[in-house]
Structure 1
């Protein structure tokens, strides 16, 4: 399945689809279902709710964005599955690539969207 993220509404829709397809419960995490609770400006400028010091995205730099690192389980980051203090997301056992949209497809589309400056048109 090809995932396209052209704006914040697309991001919300695709993250919700990943959660639903895999019967995940992000509401149990300290940040809750943050992408449903934040508006666009909060999403691109604020820290993850309930997790201070972890800005959600670095506009224009997906590799430095905590959301991408969390979904990817980036090596050497707090989200590294082997050494990270937090581990990859969403919990309990990522990655989720058997259902559509796959986590890999979400990460690819999210990376493009962030590197393009997080447009919201």
Structure 2
């Protein structure tokens, strides 16, 4: 009688689920952090000193949702193309770092222009 090592698909499924949840949590935290860094600069209004409400109702949900979606997309693509957990984590970290860099670059204050 030959014994074979049984592959545990439920353990693999749990690992995939845990990795996806961690990717979403990391992305959500990155989106929230990127928004929180720039929100105090953008909150005061430019017209008659009224607050800029779009910082709350547009920028906040967009940054958090995009921050969740991009690492999850990277995790899904990496999970379908490679079996290495290190490559999957690297893809998530790289995508999150690029998202944070892009978000902070988008929110950077405008450079003062000097007349010629």
Considering fraction of residues, name the structure with more helix: 2
- Common fold by TM > 0.5: no
Q: Which has the greater radius of gyration?
A: 2
Q: TM-score range by the shorter chain?
A: under 0.3
Q: TM-score scaled by structure 1?
A: 0.23
Considering fraction of residues, name the structure with more strand: 1
Q: TM-score scaled by structure 2?
A: 0.24
